[in-house]
Structure 1
């Protein structure tokens, strides 16, 4: 039997998704908790890996298990064995054709950036921060150059293991309210550090270090060394994963949860 899970976690308390020898990752914690309920080892697959410090409001995971348990056991039972920073939101059986990673046709991220002269205390680790004023109109113009299918090598980490740098960025919206900038991105898939590198470049545009038109030039160079530094992970949230309707999964985070850091 194949089970799909929706998982939420606070990136401040874990060393990313992918299993590590020290065991302090979401995958390690979740597999230990699932094994307690299943009574045997469980291997999980996620829609995408997140780095240390990156949060998830809707990570999607699947696992195979040959023992039957009520859905409540895979949620409340598993949560009773997880630390406060990680929680299963829902569980449901799925067709064995479903694959958390390979069945997905899109991933959605949101980045929250506090634009204020003084660093945050209450939002530390849960929101990015930049102290100089930012020009939202210039950033929106620059963002437009990134939409569509491109080689995103200029925004790709050196250690990225993706087979191809070609990605289709379908959405890059920027809004601001009460001193907080919100970047909403959706693509078929993302390269390692791609969102943080894009946000870093947009901040350079917003503060006047780069022109909006320069974003197109950065993209065309396909050279990471030509682009601005990677931005901090603190304000980055995985907010949803797109799957074909046939799987009937609710995999978009509740909009109200996107302001939890506040």
Structure 2
């Protein structure tokens, strides 16, 4: 029995999130169907992190166990032959038995791309978030500082969240402006259901001047979801990278496949 890890990219616009469901088309369903077609046997995958409806993946990682012997290139080409255009395996690699796509990960990085313009762009539909009102980037940066460190993030947690604890370690939040776009990077040991989208809703409120930067600290301390802003749109959210111990030598995601890769490369963890 061999453990195989895959790096997967996907456009989540047309999917009801990652996790397989009784109703709704999901990325997991499509990937496992393609693996089954290629391997001619059912394949069950374990994922690094579940993504919501409409959320995209640049550096998603899964693993599965199989008795089949195939080259890395064969797993890539063979699986991709049965996948829709919106999903593609980027790399495949045999892993030791102790590797686990979810439990071996010590860090997750999400990016959010926000288009700031009075008029929405149909060319960016589904790929970026949108704010018709201008945003104060410095105020959003000041607000984000209050979230760094280990905190109870209950105020930014979905009522459907199944995490055992709301306490997470936020390593960094970067906010950078580039033309009509504002780019956000969130790095943490793990995230709660809807956590990044709920944080984005609050940061946008601050950016629009509805609340001062200190307000985000007050929301965090309250532990009350009702004190925070509404959940922001999923369109601009990307699971960018999952961090693993060096011993597993997990390949870096191919972020160059997106038009705004330059700013993302600059924001990549050292």
Question: What TM-score range do you get, normalising by the shorter chain?
Answer: over 0.9
Deviation at 1:231?
Answer: 0.2
TM-score, length basis structure 2: 0.94
Give the corresponding residue for 1:235: 236
Deviations 1:132-166 (A, max 9, x none): 11101110000000000000001111110000000
CA displacement at 1:258 relative to structure 2: 6.1
Structure 2: gaps (5+ residues)? 262-270
1:209 aligned residue:
210
Shift of residue 171 of structure 1?
Answer: 1.0
Contact 1:115 1:134 in 2 (8 A): yes
Do structure 1's residue 254 and structure 2's residue 255 form an aligned pair? yes
Q: 1:216 to 1:48 in 2, by over 3 A?
A: same
Question: Does the 8 Å CA contact 2:153/2:166 hold for their aligned counterparts?
Answer: yes
Map 1:75-86 onto structure 2 (within 5 A): 75-86=76-87
Name the SS of the counterpart of 2:124 in structure 1.
Answer: coil
Partner residue of 1:33?
34
8 Å Cα contact 1:23/1:29 also seen in 2: no
Q: Distance in 1 between matches of 2:108 and 2:91?
A: 18
Aligned residue number for residue 63 of structure 2: 62
The root-mean-square deviation of aligned C-alpha atoms, in Å, is: 1.2
TM-score when scaled to structure 1?
Answer: 0.97
| Structure 1 residue 24: Cα displacement | 1.6
Instruction: Tell me, yes or no, if the aligned pair for 1:71 and 1:91 is still in contact at 8 Å.
Output: yes
**Alignment-derived partner of residue 103 in structure 2:** 102
In 2, are the aligned partners of 1:139 and 1:203 still within 8 Å (CA)?
yes
Partner of 2:265: none
Offset of residue 252 of structure 1: 3.8
Residue 112 of structure 2: aligned partner: 111
Q: Deviations over 1:83-109 (max 9, x none)?
A: 000000000100010000000000000
Q: What's the CA shift for 1:22?
A: 3.8
Name the structure 2 match of 1:166: 167
Query: Contact 1:55–1:236 (CA<8 Å) still a contact in 2?
Result: yes
Distance 2:40 2:164 in 1: 37
Name the counterpart of 1:2: 3
Question: Partners in 2 of 1:253 and 1:23 — Cα distance?
Answer: 28
Query: In 1, are the aligned partners of 2:18 and 2:52 still within 8 Å (CA)?
Result: yes
Deviation at 1:67, TM superposition (A): 1.2
Contact 2:171–2:188 at 8 Å: present in 1 too? Answer: yes
1:223 & 1:22 partners in 2: Cα distance?
Answer: 31
